[in-house]
Structure 1
Amino acid sequence: MNMDIKEIDGACHCGTVRLRVRLSDGLNSARRCTCSYCRMKGAVAVSADLGGVDVLSGADALAIYQFNTMSAKHYFCSKCGIYTHHKRRSNPNQYGVNAAILAGVSPFDFAAVPVMDGINHPSDHAGGPRVVGTLRFVASPGE
């Protein structure tokens, strides 16, 4: 897997929403979050600057979910329900993009993914983002 990839296409499960993404640090920015919403959706997200996500098709099928401070905007396909990307609360100049929608990328391609403290959100206290753990995928022998 090319961790330094700059541009990649992606799509939701049903293919209605198609994106072209220009990653700000390739797949090197992969991470998870402990906030209530991210815990439930379970996605590995990578970073793209605000101008780095182009909706190629299916813009009319994108729905938005917001909660709590209403700062972050979580986009998902209204047909298949797959989360595609979100405008970050922690960095409003970036999107988090679901790595699993990217062509040829699986969340299981990452041996270790840092987990960010979203329960104690960096926008709510001094000190900035904090890593609280690491999620690891270890393949079974013979896999």
Structure 2
Amino acid sequence: MKKTYHGSCHCGAVRFAAEIDLTAPSLRCNCSYCLKVRCWASQVPPTAFHLLAGEADLNAYRFGAGRERHYFCRHCGVRPFGHGDSARSGPFIGISVNCLDDASVAELAQVPITFIDGRHDEWDTPPQETRHL
């Protein structure tokens, strides 16, 4: 069930609201970037995302094909969300689940996780090992 959640970076300069279904699978990827930042994302369509504050406080990082923009707060370094356009799912906003301020611990503990083998560009296949993700 979709619900509006609010989230932020650590220092609070960047704040957002998003309609998210936390009963839908979230994503954990093993690509070189996601592995280093321990990405845990819930994807939503761009229409379900609203940046409330901090646009000028954001910097973006791109790598590889550059299809995704990984945003981070230039003050505290936290990555609250990213933007991408996937051939599989179209345009999306990837919300950092751990940046949701009003999701309860019980809600977060129940979020299903789909593991993705981004390291080998096998986007529909989980990696052989996931315990470190």
TM-score in terms of structure 1 length: 0.76
Give the Cα separation in 2 of the matches to 1:68 and 1:20: 29
Which residue does the alignment assign to 1:109?
A: 109
Task: Give 1 or 2: higher helix fraction.
Answer: 2
Which residue does the alignment assign to 1:14?
A: 11
Moved over 3 A (4+): 89-92, 104-108, 133-136
Match for 1:71 among 45, 67, 82? 67
Is 2:82 the counterpart of 1:86?
Answer: yes
How many residues in Structure 1 have an aligned counterpart in Structure 2?
Answer: 127
The structure-2 alpha-carbon separation of the partners of 1:40 and 1:27, relative to structure 1 and needing over 3 Å to count, comes to farther
Which stretches in structure 2 are left out of the alignment for 5+ residues? none
Match for 2:95 among 85, 94, 97? 97
Amino acid at match of 1:129: D
Deviation at 1:100, TM superposition (A): 0.6
Could you tell me whether the CA contact under 8 Å between 2:42 and 2:97 is conserved in 1? yes
Task: Return 90-99 or 33-42, whichever deviates more.
Answer: 90-99
Return the structure number with greater relative CO, CA threshold 8 A, min gap 6. Answer: 2
The structure-2 alpha-carbon separation of the partners of 1:7 and 1:118, relative to structure 1 and needing over 3 Å to count, comes to same
CA RMSD across the alignment: 2.5
TM-score in terms of structure 2 length: 0.81
**SS of match in other structure, 2:80:** strand
Larger Rg: 1
Is 2:60 the counterpart of 1:59?
Answer: no
Deviation at 1:129, TM superposition (A): 2.1
Which stretches in structure 1 are left out of the alignment for 5+ residues? 123-127, 137-143
Deviation at 1:108, TM superposition (A): 6.4
Give the Cα separation in 2 of the matches to 1:115 and 1:7: 25
Amino acid at match of 1:130: T
Give the Cα separation in 2 of the matches to 1:27 and 1:12: 23
What percent identity do the matched residue pairs reach? Answer: 26
